[in-house]
Amino acid sequence: MASSLYLCLLRAVFLVCFVNPLIQGLSGDANVVQNPHHELEENLTGLPIVTFKWHHVQTPYLVIIWVFVAGLAKLSVIELNHHVTSVIPESGLLIILGFILGGIVWGADKAQTFKLLPPTFFYYLLPQIILDASYFMPNKLFFSNLGAILIYAIFGTCWNAATVGLSLWGCYEAGAMGNLDIGLLQFLLFGSLIAAVDPVAVIAVFEEVHVNEVLFILVFGESLLNDGVTVVLYNVFDAFVALGGPKIDAAEIFKGIFSFVVVAFGGSFLGVVFAILLSLLTRCTKHIQIIEAGFVFVVGYLAYLTAEMLSLSAILSITFCGICCQKYVNANMDEKSVTTVRHAMKVLANGSETMIFVFLGVTAIDTEIWIWNTGFILLTLLFVFIYRIIGVFLLTWMLNKFRLVPIEVIDQVVMSYGGLRGAVAYGLAAMLDEDKIPEKNLMISTTLIVVYFTVILQGLTMKPLVQWLKVKRAAHSDLKLIEKLNNRAFDHILAAVEDICGRIGDNWWTRGWNRFEENYISWLLMKPKARRNRDYLFSIFHKLNLEDAVNYVSEGERQGSLGFIRSDEAANVDFKKQFGSEFTDVMPDIMVDMSNYELEIENFSATSIVKDTIPSVSLDIHGQDRKNAVDDINAHHLLQQHLYRSRKNHRHKYSRSHFSINQSEDEVQEIFQRTMRSRLESFKSAKMGVNPAKKITKHHKKELTHKMANGHPDGTGHLYGDEVDSAVGSETGAIRGTFMRDTYTVGAGIENPVFLPDMDSPTHSSLPWLMETEAVAPSQRAQRRLPWTPNRLRRLAPMRISTCSTDSFLMADLEEHEEQPQTDHEEIRPAFD
């Protein structure tokens, strides 16, 4: 509660801080009213009780009002009829709303007093969007496709700029657009500013279209990097234009290319430097955790401004700052700060995005900028569209010669169609110098039309296009449960097979880099603690499980193999008695229920068990027919909600408006625990050479679970896996309780060399499909109390409890017998009393 409050406050503070100076840019007449103080004071005759001091607050007030309006705009767009929002992309709707708002302002003022000015855009709106995109960049995917991304970003952008500029110039020379005062260099300048695909617009549209991850990262990465490229290109051509045609010789062109390289790589390098700085900084913010989240934003912004100051590429600088620091910053900072950063990033980026689209719309309602030249505008639209397609297909054709997995034609179509232009192009156009480029307004209006055309029209048709191209896939939706189930199963299978085949980009270089990174860079940039805790999770966990198994086996051998299981069973029976007697005292009516279960369990009628635990979802399939339809929907809904998503579906997706990272982490954790547990079971049974007698213990287990769930006073007890929970589960639950202490003292560092994985296999049961079947779900209580995330391995120890205490009451019971106090036990007692 407190933390969420803190979060809200923080967001508000950030919003105000960032957007505060906005008005200087937004309102053209902000400085008209500079010093209103003395006028007011002169008129003072008596002590006023209340005065109206609009001029004091005018600037921040207008800013906040606009932010508020933009927020409302977003809200209304989201809340609109879903039929509308599913057809028209959100960004397009926001622009249209901007038109309306601009119209209102125009109607009131008879002039456009608010428009998006380049400094506002480049200094206050763009940085956080780029920072957000890079900070959440799926790094592995990004770097494994870096080659392709760079080729698209650099050569694609240059291609676009050159071809559009030259073609327009050619058409102009041919007389297609009448008499304009534009030379070749100006055309190239215009081409360079219109060349870049815009990250803001692209993400906004691609978020709504489901594309595969490689395509996504290609488009996303390209749009991020080519912004940098286009700004550099723009500056070079701007300088050329300023220099004037005759003065440009080979040396100047060479200098231009050289400055292109320096500016691009210098910016990237500066970003990396700031990333290192930030990582080092977060190493030592242990005692000021409350503000460490702020450093991410401040240093990121500093990277941007510093690059701007040094006339390096600011966009590339902040991009690489975000990409490089994310890993170390997330590991170094406290978990709360990490969450704060994530939330705040999303708030800022999403807010900026909304503002940008709204103001792109508002800006349009201004008679000053609109100069119509049919030839110029239509030809620009045409060339932008055509050359994007040609460029993508050409570059992809070359890339596919080197790629193991070629980029398919359909992906190329989506890529070329997804070449949306956005606010960066507009910002650059608005930055043009009217003295040097007489036709500035024509360029602005053309840019705006290109932006509207691509964002609204292409965005609108994107989804139908994708669906049409993939018509085979979209033709059929999951109508039956078994289809739904199997489709998901297919996804999982594919993901697994892909993992088995190995990552495509896995080669000598990446392995070498990983080793280097692990040994040196992490050492430098990560807290020692965080470093230790990093995700060696899987191997360590595996090792620990094996250690448990060693103990289990050696203990089993000490006691004589089967005696072990027998004693465990006795414990169950004992517990059952005791549990029962305690319950008869306290809640006799529940005992009645329990006896019902005991009867019903005999004939395994799963639908009728525990009707009263969760009444809302009791699905009695043998019930009345009229209930069937509802139940059917229910079942579909349940399955839809609870099926684990395949990793293919939720990894590596960047979204500016949602982040459900936590949810998928939870799922991953859950699956991981279950897998490890089932492996442990099969390992143990193989090691023991015994196939545990399922039939014998199953019924005890079932009863116990039911009693437990039913008797739980707060009613939160759910039933887990009594079908799935095998006898093995209950045994090991108990047994692990016994050995918990041993493994704790042994610790993670020590491993028994005799007992490495190789030892294991030969005794596995012979039928492959019969092997290790049952996964076991940890009890919800254990889960809730003992959360862990992969980057906080220091909680490994409690996590292990949670994996083994699927039946914590069994452990509690065991402890009672063996007089071993344990935390689980302590917490469970009140539930019994």
Partner 1 sequence: MGLQGWRNVLALKTSKNNNRAAWQRAFPVPLSHSQITRLYSRFHSLDKGENGALSREDFQRIPELAINPLGDRIINAFFPEGEDQANFRGFMRTLAHFRPVEDNEKNKDLTSGEPLNSRTNKLLFAFRLYDLDRDDKISRDELLQVLRMMVGVNISDEQLGSIADRTIQEADTNGDMCISFSEFIKVLEKVDVEQKMSIRFLH
Which of positions 315-374 make contact with partner 1 (CB under 8 A)?
A: none
CB of residue 751 vs partner 1: minimum separation in angstroms?
Answer: 15
Distance CA(675)–CA(467), nearest Å, equals 36
Query: Between 340 and 783, whose beta carbon lies closer to partner 1?
Result: 783
577 CB burial (10 A radius; 0-12, 13-18, 19+): exposed
Distance CA(801)–CA(823), nearest Å, equals 10
Query: Between 433 and 483, whose beta carbon lies closer to partner 1?
Result: 483
Q: Does 494 bind partner 1 (CB under 8 A)?
A: yes
34 CB burial (10 A radius; 0-12, 13-18, 19+): exposed
Q: Does 689 bind partner 1 (CB under 8 A)?
A: no
Is 422 in contact with 198 (CB distance < 8 Å)? yes
Q: Convert 269-306 to b/e letters by CB count within 10 Å (16 or more is b).
A: bbbbbbbbbbbebbbebeeeeeebbbbbbebbbbbbeb
> Considering only 243-251, 415-423, 472-480, 810-818, which stretch makes contact with partner 1 by CB under 8 A?
472-480
Q: Does 621 bind partner 1 (CB under 8 A)?
A: yes
**Which structure tokens are listed for 233?**
């290109």
> Considering only 124-132, 139-147, 232-240, 473-481, which stretch makes contact with partner 1 by CB under 8 A?
473-481
Distance CA(303)–CA(441), nearest Å, equals 32
Query: Between 74 and 652, whose beta carbon lies closer to partner 1?
Result: 652
Query: Between 54 and 397, whose beta carbon lies closer to partner 1?
Result: 397
Query: Between 618 and 657, whose beta carbon lies closer to partner 1?
Result: 618
Q: Does 716 bind partner 1 (CB under 8 A)?
A: no
Q: Is 503 helix (H, G, I), strand (E, B) or coil?
A: coil
Q: Does 488 bind partner 1 (CB under 8 A)?
A: yes
Q: Does 660 bind partner 1 (CB under 8 A)?
A: no
Query: Between 383 and 683, whose beta carbon lies closer to partner 1?
Result: 683
Q: Does 613 bind partner 1 (CB under 8 A)?
A: yes
Distance CA(47)–CA(45), nearest Å, equals 7
Which member of 343, 576, 679, 785 binds partner 1 (CB under 8 A)?
679
Q: Which residue intervals of 80-156 are DSSP H helices? A: 82-87, 90-109, 118-119, 126-135, 139-144, 146-150
> Considering only 82-90, 123-131, 457-465, 494-502, which stretch makes contact with partner 1 by CB under 8 A?
494-502
Q: Does 629 bind partner 1 (CB under 8 A)?
A: no
The mark string for 771-810 relative to partner 1 (x by CB under 8 A, - otherwise) is xxxxx-xx-x--x---------------------------
Which member of 127, 165, 721, 737 binds partner 1 (CB under 8 A)?
721
Distance CA(417)–CA(667), nearest Å, equals 35
> Considering only 413-421, 576-584, 738-746, 755-763, which stretch makes contact with partner 1 by CB under 8 A?
755-763
Q: Does 314 bind partner 1 (CB under 8 A)?
A: no
Which member of 250, 251, 471, 497 binds partner 1 (CB under 8 A)?
497
Q: Does 218 bind partner 1 (CB under 8 A)?
A: no
Q: One-letter amino acid identity for 424?
A: V
Place of tokens 């059929």: 476
Q: Does 287 bind partner 1 (CB under 8 A)?
A: no
Give, as ranges, the residues between 399 and 418 that touch partner 1 (CB under 8 A). Answer: 404-405
Query: Between 46 and 502, whose beta carbon lies closer to partner 1?
Result: 502
Q: Does 722 bind partner 1 (CB under 8 A)?
A: yes
Residue 535, CA distances (Å) to 152, 327, 504, 538, 661 in order: 33, 11, 21, 7, 16
Is 452 in contact with 364 (CB distance < 8 Å)? yes
Which member of 334, 670, 751, 827 binds partner 1 (CB under 8 A)?
670
Which member of 481, 587, 661, 746 binds partner 1 (CB under 8 A)?
481
> Considering only 47-55, 162-170, 496-504, 747-755, which stretch makes contact with partner 1 by CB under 8 A?
496-504
CB of residue 248 vs partner 1: minimum separation in angstroms?
Answer: 47
Query: Between 3 and 507, whose beta carbon lies closer to partner 1?
Result: 507
Q: One-letter amino acid identity for 491?
A: D
Q: Does 598 bind partner 1 (CB under 8 A)?
A: no
Q: Classify the C-alpha dihedral 250-252-258-260 as positive or negative.
A: negative
Q: Does 542 bind partner 1 (CB under 8 A)?
A: yes
Query: Between 456 and 537, whose beta carbon lies closer to partner 1?
Result: 537
CB of residue 107 vs partner 1: minimum separation in angstroms?
Answer: 54
CB of residue 708 vs partner 1: minimum separation in angstroms?
Answer: 13
Distance CA(238)–CA(161), nearest Å, equals 13
Is 137 in contact with 394 (CB distance < 8 Å)? no
What angle is formed at CA 45 by the lines to CA 40 and CA 51, rounded to 5 degrees?
50
Distance CA(325)–CA(320), nearest Å, equals 8
Q: Is 458 helix (H, G, I), strand (E, B) or coil?
A: helix
Distance CA(262)–CA(511), nearest Å, equals 29
